[in-house]
Amino acid sequence: MIAYKPQKHPLSQPFDQGTEPPRKRGIKILWISLAIAAILAGAGYIGFQQYIKSNTHDYYKVLVNGQAVGTIGDPSEVTKLVQAETAEMNEAYPSLKMSLRTGNISFEKISEYKGTADSQATLDKLESSFKMSAEGTEVKVNGEVVGIVKNEETAQAILKQIQNKYAPPSRMKSSFPKVQLLSTGSANQTTAPSNRIAGVKFAEEIEFSQKELDPSKVLGQDQLKELLSGGKDAKTKYTIQQGDCVGCIAQKFNISPEVIYKDNPWIQDDLIKAGDVLELTLAKPVINVVTTEVQTEIITSEPQVIIQKKATLNKGQSKVIQQGKAGRKQLTYTVVKQNGNKMSEDLVSIDVIEKSVPKIVVQGTKVVNSGEGSDESVSGKGSGTFSWPVSGYRITSTYGSRWGRMHKGIDLVGSSSIKAADEGVVEFAGTKNGYGKAVIIDHKNGFKTLYGHMNSLSVKTGEKVGRGEKIGVMGNTGRSTGIHLHFEIFKNGKLQNPLKYL
Ligand SMILES: [Zn+2]
């Protein structure tokens, strides 16, 4: 600010003039002479005054915040300097909102005999005291300043770009294919698997604050983006401790289990043990994008096989009286990802899109040759349909390529009793590598089921078991990640998705 404050100088005050009283007539002449002398003196005085005046110069004392910095001939020189500096500054930082801090500039007028102002020195001094400042937005991540950009809009735009990398707007549509329940036998209905992003956020707390600062500290968009989302990948090795699990290690390092599977392709079905060494890639960007995705997957549900006993048909004979037809189920998952890597996955629903039609087979029970009893209460031959091996079950992991690895079965938690999913003969009851205490039941119809990680077994090899019969207690044996049942179904030696049959 420039304030102009004129002030009177003592030199500009007029001198005092005395007057002499008249005395006698005799001295009139003298008086006249004196008067003439006085006039002459007066004239001399005026001349002197005029001389002083013509040699007295007005100039100004310049003060910044009340402190004298020098003198100047004309205050407009300071105004011109401020204007020139402002123009130069705006040219140097065209995209920033700049201000020139000059301090509070004021002037005091000085009229002094033969006075001169040291204008150039004062202007130089002023110029070097001016400070440029820019308006900027400080970006703080979890309370720490990461960088400064010109304004909040710029910061927001950078964050949006980082977010869009993992949550492109095209995948954030609000419309979501509704599961349609169709009647049996309806034509092909296309409900393609989908993957929609339901929510996106940053894992960190991000704050902005407006600041006045040095313009050289203001970063460009790309610089801040690099600071926020960059960060070099660090490779490290980790030796598995007793009680570790893939998910636990992932959590410990704040990385996705997917990264662990990718780096360590030897891990099968979460089977790790203390002493194994894992390769870990630890990427440490300053901010992490967390997306919540709704994923759907459609699986075929195999038709049930219903066996009807018929006394009029000879034993050993069978007839298919209704051909089965496969149905379809939609599995819906909620998947949480960090920077595109899966952190958690929950199966939220299984919906029947198209009901399967059961296959009905009539089997004869008529005994032609007498002498043999017909003890068929437990034949050891399965029906081809399966019931859940756990009551009050919840699926904690589904079958297939998940987390960048193949999961051979489904994981279930629920009540502790493990039940045979169908009638059959126990083919194996004991400890199986990786599976801990396990049971394999041969259903004698092409199907086999496997039950792993059990705490205890209540059947023996060779024993016939009925559907729903208890075969053991749920546990955490083998390379397990907590108390659960790992359940697999094989058809003619090939692994199946158990949810096709359940
Ligand atoms: Zn499993």
Distance 474 CA to ligand 1 centre (A): 13
CB 137 within 8 A of CB 154: yes
Distance 115 CA to ligand 1 centre (A): 98
* pLDDT (tens digit per residue) in 71-96: 999 999 999 999 999 999 999 998 88
In a domain, 291, yes or no: no
pLDDT for res 367: 74
Distance 259 CA to ligand 1 centre (A): 19
Distance 273 CA to ligand 1 centre (A): 15
Which CATH number characterizes residue 269's domain? 3.10.350.10
pLDDT for res 137: 95
* pLDDT (tens digit per residue) in 441-476: 999 999 999 999 999 999 999 999 999 999 999 998
Distance 352 CA to ligand 1 centre (A): 24
Distance 377 CA to ligand 1 centre (A): 33
Span 465-492, average pLDDT: 90
Distance 410 CA to ligand 1 centre (A): 5
CA–CA distance, 144 with 142 (Å, rounded to integer): 6
Span 200-206, average pLDDT: 94
pLDDT for res 425: 96
Distance 291 CA to ligand 1 centre (A): 25
Most confident by average pLDDT, 30-39, 207-216, 244-253, 420-429: 420-429
Residue whose pair of structure tokens reads 């400064």 in the numeric block = 148
**Same domain flag for 13 and 125:** yes
Taken in order 364, 368, 370, 371, is the CA torsion positive or negative?
negative
Distance 411 CA to ligand 1 centre (A): 5
Distance 484 CA to ligand 1 centre (A): 8
In a domain, 335, yes or no: no
Distance 488 CA to ligand 1 centre (A): 8
pLDDT for res 270: 67
DSSP letter (8 states) at residue 95: T
Distance 324 CA to ligand 1 centre (A): 30
Residue 9 confidence class, pLDDT cut points 50, 70, 90: very low
Distance 300 CA to ligand 1 centre (A): 21
What is 190-222 written as a DSSP string?
-----EEEEEEEESS-EEEEEEEE-GGGPPPHH
In a domain, 30, yes or no: yes
Distance 110 CA to ligand 1 centre (A): 94
**Same domain flag for 447 and 387:** yes
Burial of 21 (0-12, 13-18, 19+ CB in 10 A): exposed
Of the listed ranges 32-36, 189-193, 408-412, 444-448, the one predicted with least confidence: 189-193
Residue 125 confidence class, pLDDT cut points 50, 70, 90: very high
Distance 250 CA to ligand 1 centre (A): 18
Distance 440 CA to ligand 1 centre (A): 15
* pLDDT (tens digit per residue) in 129-186: 999 999 999 999 999 999 999 999 999 999 999 999 999 888 876 545 444 444 433 3
* pLDDT (tens digit per residue) in 207-242: 999 999 889 899 988 999 988 987 667 788 888 887
In a domain, 399, yes or no: yes
pLDDT for res 170: 83
CA 150 to chain CA centroid, Å, is 23
pLDDT for res 302: 85
**Same domain flag for 382 and 479:** yes
Domains of the chain: total: 4
In a domain, 310, yes or no: no
In a domain, 338, yes or no: no
**Same domain flag for 85 and 150:** no
**Same domain flag for 219 and 245:** no
Distance 409 CA to ligand 1 centre (A): 6
DSSP letter (8 states) at residue 172: -
Distance 406 CA to ligand 1 centre (A): 10
**Same domain flag for 279 and 387:** no
Distance 293 CA to ligand 1 centre (A): 23
Of the listed ranges 5-19, 129-143, 271-285, 428-442, the one predicted with least confidence: 5-19
342 vs 201, residue with greater confidence? 201
Distance 270 CA to ligand 1 centre (A): 8
What lies within 8 Å, CB to CB, of 397 at 6+ separation is 345, 407, 410, 411
Which CATH number characterizes residue 432's domain? 2.70.70.10
* pLDDT (tens digit per residue) in 339-382: 888 888 888 999 999 998 988 888 888 876 554 444 445 677 88
In a domain, 339, yes or no: no
What is 477-490 written as a DSSP string?
-SS-SSSBEEEEEE
| Percent of the chain at pLDDT exceeding 90 | 44
Span 106-113, average pLDDT: 88
Distance 246 CA to ligand 1 centre (A): 13
8 vs 143, residue with greater confidence? 143
CA–CA distance, 308 with 360 (Å, rounded to integer): 7
Distance 404 CA to ligand 1 centre (A): 14
CA–CA distance, 12 with 109 (Å, rounded to integer): 12
Range of the domain at 14: 2-129
Distance 485 CA to ligand 1 centre (A): 7
pLDDT for res 128: 93
Distance 434 CA to ligand 1 centre (A): 10
Strands (E), 142-186: 144-149
**Same domain flag for 88 and 154:** no
* pLDDT (tens digit per residue) in 27-59: 566 666 666 666 666 666 777 777 777 777 789
Distance 458 CA to ligand 1 centre (A): 21
| Percent of the chain at pLDDT exceeding 70 | 83
Distance 327 CA to ligand 1 centre (A): 25
**Same domain flag for 7 and 122:** yes
Residue 387 confidence class, pLDDT cut points 50, 70, 90: very high
Distance 267 CA to ligand 1 centre (A): 13
Residue whose pair of structure tokens reads 């001295």 in the numeric block = 27
Of the listed ranges 222-226, 255-259, 285-289, the one predicted with least confidence: 255-259
**Same domain flag for 166 and 280:** no
| Number of Cβ atoms within 10 Å of the Cβ of 128 | 8
**Same domain flag for 494 and 460:** yes
**Same domain flag for 423 and 491:** yes
**Same domain flag for 122 and 148:** no
Give the Å distances, CA to CA, from 492 to 154, 173, 349, 359, 448.
61, 43, 29, 18, 8
Distance 251 CA to ligand 1 centre (A): 19
Distance 203 CA to ligand 1 centre (A): 29
pLDDT for res 373: 44
Distance 164 CA to ligand 1 centre (A): 34
Distance 407 CA to ligand 1 centre (A): 6
pLDDT for res 6: 44
Q: Is the pLDDT of residue 26 over 70?
A: no
Distance 283 CA to ligand 1 centre (A): 28
When the pLDDT of each residue in the chain is averaged and rounded to a whole number, the result is 83
In a domain, 17, yes or no: yes
**pTM score > 0.75 for this model?**
no
Q: Taking CA 183 as the corner, what is the angle to CA 180 and CA 186, rounded to the nearest 5 degrees?
A: 90
Strands (E), 369-409: 394-397, 400-402, 405-407
pLDDT for res 29: 64
Distance 399 CA to ligand 1 centre (A): 8
